[in-house]
Structure 1
Amino acid sequence: MSFKHTTLAAAATAAISLAGTATAATIGLMAPLSGPQAAVGQDQVDGFMLALSLLGGKLGGQTVTVLTEDDQLKPDVGSQIARKFIDKDKVDVIVGLSFSNVLMASLPRIVESGTVAIATNAGPSPLAGVGCKPNVFSAAWQNDGAAEAMGKFAQDKGLKKVYLLAPNYQAGKDMLAGFKRYFKGQIVDETYTQVNQPDYSAEITQLQVTQPDAVFVFYPGGMGVNFVKQMSQAGLLGKLPLYSVFTVDGTTLPSLRDAAVGTVSGAMWDAALDTPDNRRFVAAFEAKYKRTPSEYAATAFDAAHIIDVAFRKQGQNLADRKALAAAVKAAGSEFKSVRGPFRFNNNNLPIQNYYAFEAVKEQGKVVIKQVGTPLPLHADAYQAQCAMK
């Protein structure tokens, strides 16, 4: 299989080369850049490249080349890209790593090589627990975290019965496990659907039969757009509370518009967070790309700043992979995240706040409002199983 750099990557490389006389480091960025989840991948690329631009085209004072590849949300393609990045391109760091199924498929060669990898859209439970690795990080989340926040939010609201849905892959299972960890009421049903399934009419009919107090779903990207719109078309939104994670966000809100009103989402970040660092990030992203960023852009933006601090610590000695991994670990506590508090736990996954956000309509426009912080400074449920200190 052959891989080609995207037009964006080529343009970015050309722009970056202007920042210095020689390329000192290479970053491989893998994300889904085609198909229903392309918006998720594009936001990661754009968030990373925005940070690089704001840092003067350098990370840690070193000029860089960024190579981007489309994993197509296919584990076998992702695995081949990881091998290409490591064996052919000799990258210093791999970023992105797509969805959890793609990350897990790419993991063997990454671990074998010792290459530092920073996920910006995955935190599978095996990697957080007994399968933790010293050279593999997530600048995003442990998959359960946002769902745990929604489980606690639903519990605090006094709900008794909830219907759960998610796509049938590792992250979907992690999300529903996370919700159930904090929600103590009755799970009336737990349904797993095909990845990228476009039609949810059968599932929506079934959940109506069970008469739950609320529905909780994990449907990122195009899946979320389809599900929420079909819930709206069935006349359920506004009558049946819809709680979600990675379903109503910056990538889907432009398509959902009024259909999103009233939905409540758990996340570690949203453009609505009112902090100086986040306001600057959102303003810069909107000015450059003419759209509101999603959490995927925020995590990639943060990942670039983590690498910036780590490269500064390492200087020119990027070939020492163990030392570079240690520098990345330390950088997690030193850089300023747009999401608020952040540091890497012993398992190289984040300790961070998880917020609750609601989509509301104000002056004719759908906007997101923060309505709580169910889990402040939250550590994942698997870190005790990780042997790393």
Structure 2
Amino acid sequence: MGNPTERFLTDALFEPISLGQLKLANRMVMAPMTRNRADTGNVIADMTVEYYAQRASVGLIIAEATQVSETAQGYADTPGLHTQEQIAAWKKVTDEVHRRGGRIFVQLWHTGRMSHVSFQPNGQAPVAPSAIAAKAKTYLAGQGFVDTSVPRALETAEIAGIAQDFGRAAASAIEAGFDGVEIHAAHGYLIDAFLRDGSNHRTDQYGGSIENRARFLLEVMQAVIGAIGAERSGIRLSPVSPVNDSSESNPQPLFEYVVRELEKLHPVFIHVVEGHTGGPRDNAPFDYEALRRLYSGIWMVNNGYTKEMAVEAIASGRADMVSFGRPLITNPDLPRRFRENAPLNPPYKDAPLYGGVGPHGYIDYPALPASEG
């Protein structure tokens, strides 16, 4: 694998780490990735059991974004965790991941204005902090990509109920056998939309000042921690990512405030997307080290990390864990490939990243052959 110094540094990525009461085998994380393969009723498909189990060698899997309620959906064929059928299906996943020695959280989301009336009960408008349509698209079966619908602004009295939806979904996640949950507070979805002045024009206690715009995020975290405990609750943030028409005029003080307040609640990890999600890491100036200094728990980083970048982040102490996205779609045994400096599988050219049917591009990416001896 190269010289002894390289081997020594790479070992940092494979040091075990404690996450709450869990002992993780290494510092690698499977980032949550929407694959749009749920069945009728937003129940995960049988193949999803094998999909996650194949990737159980990472220190932690964070399963794909999963709806906390019927109104939380914004895309076709994404799973939920708010019915008994959904819970039972996820239990098959967690049982098999655990059988193979892995640990697994699930990401909980409410898509907010990133939705369409077709996904909403009775064709109602999606909900958001303000009635501002996102300049973004979603996918409808039979129609292709369409503009997201104009949302309605949530009434003040409704907001606490959505925070409780997150708490109930977190409890359902534990019932389904997950080791914990990650709250999706990134990428322009409902929690992130409340945070940002580009999407939150409210004049009540949830709008205006930084403290007010962060209120919903903190109430969600309080509900989740109250349901399952801080040691099983993480959160994902994307301070400067513009995806899904997400905009904020002054992100540094906003996210420093958020992290200071999260430190008081002390979720088990904060997962930070650095830069433009899936794009350039330097799209906007931001001092991530300033955030890191405000939080004493596990600091997880994401966005375009190579093995070398991940090793540097861990070895330098800049991060405690690193999450990987697409490399773990195409390389179910990514930790072994990193450790052995083995080549990575290229993406299949004839298999979609989102959606699809059958195993191709989902559970048929090859692992390295078993070692002899």
Same fold by TM (over 0.5)? Answer: no
Give the alignment's TM-score, normalised by structure 2: 0.30
Give the alignment's TM-score, normalised by structure 1: 0.29
Choose between structure 1 and 2: higher strand proportion: 1
Structure scoring higher RCO (CA < 8 A, sep ≥ 6) equals 1
